Amino acid sequence: MSPKDAMPPLPEPLRVAVADSHTHLDMQKDGTVDEALAKAASVGVTTVVQVGCDVKGSIWAAETAARYENVHAAVALHPNEAPRIVLGDPDGWSRQGARQPGGEAALDEALAEIERLAALPHVKAVGETGLDYFRTGPEGMAAQERSFRAHIEIAKRQGKALVIHDREAHADVLRVLREEGAPEHTVFHCYSGDAEMAKECAEAGYYMSFAGNMTFKNAQHLRDALAVAPLDLVLVETDAPFLTPAPYRGRPNAPYLIPVTVRAMAEVKGISEDDLAGALAANTARAFDY
């Protein structure tokens, strides 16, 4: 195993337990769910939100949350999954492999399954949904937006939080939320906007979840956003196995690395690690209603 493939060492445990508000345990390359949860708990990360990105992954998330008291599920079609379903793009985002073109009816069928899952009591959120203009070109934007609007309505009908994936689409994501009317609890996963957008999110009461990329040297805009984000609207996440915080950038991520990001966030906010961790724990429980 090359050094870049090796898991980073365990960080010093947090004194106040927190939650990883967004992770993908189904994508981890090594170890079992039990092992991942045990390692996380050993450093003070006692709760995780397991997020689905397609029908298969959402079923897995719901089933895993049903088995573990400290795992909560979010279910959705990732923004790049919707156009793949409609357009039949074999090079699309989904882990399920190539699929024959299904059109609008196939998207409706997938959305119906997401709503069925969203109604389950251990599913606490609908997401990750939203818009992603980095991977999807103009030909897929209509399907993305239709799927996003449908997820918003599912979240409201089921009384669940909405988890937003927003990549290079800030203005349109905020526009659709205004047009549809956001659910009571809306979370911008892996917040990627600047300080001005953070102020707009705060005014709307949206939660902003920061990941390991806020530690990157080129991410001053994220640190600026965190600095102005109200403490009661801030969450922390790994988005594991992606976005591993510095100094481990490029190596696999996992929920047990949350303390690295928490300490970097506390420095930006100018508060103690314990005070930030306490706020993060309370905010996550409130956002996901657990």
Domains and CATH numbers, the chain: 16-288 (3.20.20.140)
Q: Which residues, 6 or more positions from 248, have their beta carbon under 8 angstroms from its beta carbon? A: 8, 257, 260
Q: Which residues, 6 or more positions from 254, have their beta carbon under 8 angstroms from its beta carbon? A: 7, 23, 28, 36, 39, 40, 238, 240, 241
Instruction: Determine phi and psi for 234, rounding to 5 degrees.
Output: -105, 135
- Mean pLDDT by runs of 10 across the 290 residues of the chain is 81 98 95 97 98 97 98 97 81 43 86 98 98 90 96 98 98 98 98 98 98 98 98 98 97 98 98 98 98
H or E element that contains 176? helix 170-180
pLDDT score for 2: 60
pLDDT score for 91: 44
Which of these, 49, 2, 12, 30, lies nearest to 255 by C-alpha position? 49
pLDDT score for 92: 43
- Cβ atoms of 55 and 114 within 8 Å: the answer is yes
3-state secondary structure 34-57: HHHHHHHHHCCEEEEEEECCCHHH
Cβ neighbour number for residue 16 with a 10 Å cutoff:
16
- Residue count of the chain: 290
H or E element that contains 30? none
CB-hemisphere CA count at 13 Å for 157?
Answer: 14
* φ/ψ bin of 181: left (φ > 0), alpha (ψ from -120 to 50), beta (otherwise): left
Strands 161-167 and 123-132: parallel
User: Strand 161-167's sheet: what is its strand order?
Assistant: 18-23, 45-51, 71-75, 123-132, 161-167, 186-188, 207-210, 234-236
Instruction: State the pTM of this model.
Output: 0.94
pLDDT score for 89: 57
